[in-house]
Amino acid sequence: MTRVSEFLLHRRVQFYEVDSAGIVHFSWFFRYMEEAEHAMWREAGLSIHAVNDDIGWPRVATAFEFYRPLRFEDEFDVHLRVAQMTAKTIRYECVLTKNGEKIANGSMTIACVQKKPTMKAIAIPAEIASRLAPDRGAA
Residues of this chain that bind a second copy (CB under 8 A): 14-16, 18-23, 25-28, 30-31, 34-35, 38, 42, 47-49, 51, 56, 58-66, 69, 71-73, 115, 119
Rounded least distance, CB 115 to a second copy, Å: 8
Rounded least distance, CB 47 to a second copy, Å: 6
DSSP character at residue 15:
G
Rounded least distance, CB 83 to a second copy, Å: 16
d(CA 47, CA 33): 16
Rounded least distance, CB 48 to a second copy, Å: 7
| Residue at 35: amino acid letter | E
d(CA 19, CA 33): 19
Q: Which is nearer to a second copy, 26 or 101 (CB)?
A: 26
Give which of 81, 109, 105, 57 is closest to 9, Cα–Cα.
Answer: 81
Q: Which is nearer to a second copy, 87 or 119 (CB)?
A: 119
Q: Which is nearer to a second copy, 113 or 137 (CB)?
A: 113
* Alpha-carbon torsion, ordered 1, 82, 72, 24, to 10 deg: 150
Q: Which is nearer to a second copy, 107 or 137 (CB)?
A: 107
Give which of 120, 15, 110, 18 is closest to 59, Cα–Cα.
Answer: 110
